[in-house]
Amino acid sequence: MLNIPIGGFCGKIKWGFWAHQRINRLAVFSLPPEMQVFFKTQINYLTENAVNPDKRRYAVVGEAPRHYIDAEAYGDSALYKLPYYWKEAVEKYGEDTLALNGTVPWAIQQYKFQLTEAFRQKNPRRILRVAADLGHYIADANVPLHTTRNYNGQMTGQEGIHAFWESRVAELYGESYDMFVGAAMYEHKVAHRAWQAVRNANAGLDSVLRFERELSAKFRPEQKYVLEDRNGVIVKTYSREFSERYHQLLNRQVERQMRASVKMVADFWFTCWVDAGQPILSDFSHFDLDEQAKKEEKEEKMGWLKRLFSVRTESDN
Ligand SMILES: [Zn+2]
């Protein structure tokens, strides 16, 4: 039983797809009516495409580092000492080092800039794509395990904790979460907010790991894990009893981090729109991707999948 890999985990990924999609979706409801007139009609696009960055993570060069930052790579209090801005960070550490240790606080700033540009250009397709991506990186920045090298508990004998925290717990209890965050607010200090998010997330890391360790000492392996049938595939996952106890010990931490993500996504989308001069979006209230664009996006996603599985071509043989 224990040799079956723990379900849901495949590398240094994400909030589960469920959480990412829910975060983008809920953020739409905090926007002012002038934005909802476009964003609400596209809520399914923003929801579905919330997971694009994870899908292309192993297929697109330069994608992987945008999802995390390994705080300990830079010594004590790194998240308070690292340069706020990318240019200064590159001057100090070089791009290779930064890419190796993750870039999420800077990626958020880059995507904030791109979304503002898309609004300025009044380019509806670009607005949607970049908004969906920005929502993803913001959500990742709010996950404690995205701020450490020990991202899956692999350095402390807690393998599987990543999917446990962000998929299993979120999916079991997520429906009961209070996700009301109120109206989006203008963010004057974009860089500061991005760094504050990873600092807050990192402050929760100790609890994430410690509570799992303490509980594991009280549960026998056969109580801690169960085998579940998911669409005909047997996966090993954390038992409901273990999950429930962990959820209680965390005292709604997953809920708090999800809510912080929703709030931040809404605030950032709104801020981009304001910085672009509040373009009239009602022109796009009937916008739909044309057939060509739909085809392109479908092919792009197929391309990520293909590269993920590194299909060997005839010439490789
Ligand atoms: Zn991610």
Question: CA distances (Å), 60 to each of 66, 90, 294, 317, in order?
Answer: 12, 21, 20, 24
State the Cα–Cα distance between residues 31 and 267, nearest whole angstrom: 8
Domain boundaries, the chain: 17-153+177-203+255-316
Question: CA distances (Å), 191 to each of 85, 148, 202, 227, 284, in order?
Answer: 7, 20, 17, 44, 30
pTM of the model: 0.91
48 Cα to the center of ligand 1, angstroms: 14
CATH architecture of the domain with range 17-153+177-203+255-316: Orthogonal Bundle (1.10)
Helices (H), 102-236: 104-120, 124-141, 161-163, 170-173, 190-203, 205-218, 221-224
138 Cα to the center of ligand 1, angstroms: 9
167 Cα to the center of ligand 1, angstroms: 13
Cα 119 to its chain centre, rounded Å, is 23
Phi then psi for residue 218, to 5 deg, are -95, -15
89 Cα to the center of ligand 1, angstroms: 22
13 Cα to the center of ligand 1, angstroms: 6
State the Cα–Cα distance between residues 296 and 300, nearest whole angstrom: 6
Query: By C-alpha distance, which of 82, 143, 133 is closest to 111?
Result: 133
233 Cα to the center of ligand 1, angstroms: 24
Query: Are 258 and 177 contacting, i.e. CB atoms less than 8 angstroms apart?
Result: yes
Please give the chain's pLDDT, 317 residues, in tens.
334 455 443 333 446 789 999 999 999 999 999 999 999 999 999 999 999 999 998 889 899 999 999 999 999 999 999 999 999 999 999 999 999 999 999 999 999 999 999 999 999 999 999 999 999 999 999 999 999 999 999 999 999 999 999 999 988 998 889 999 999 999 999 999 999 999 999 999 999 999 999 999 999 999 999 998 888 888 889 999 999 999 999 999 999 999 999 999 999 999 999 999 999 999 999 998 888 989 999 999 988 888 777 654 444 43
15 Cα to the center of ligand 1, angstroms: 7
What residues does the ion ligand 1 have nearby, CB within 5 Å?
14, 54, 67, 140
Beta-bridge partner residues of 229:
234
Question: CA distances (Å), 88 to each of 59, 66, 81, 164, in order?
Answer: 28, 17, 12, 36
196 Cα to the center of ligand 1, angstroms: 18
155 Cα to the center of ligand 1, angstroms: 21
State the Cα–Cα distance between residues 86 and 79, nearest whole angstrom: 14
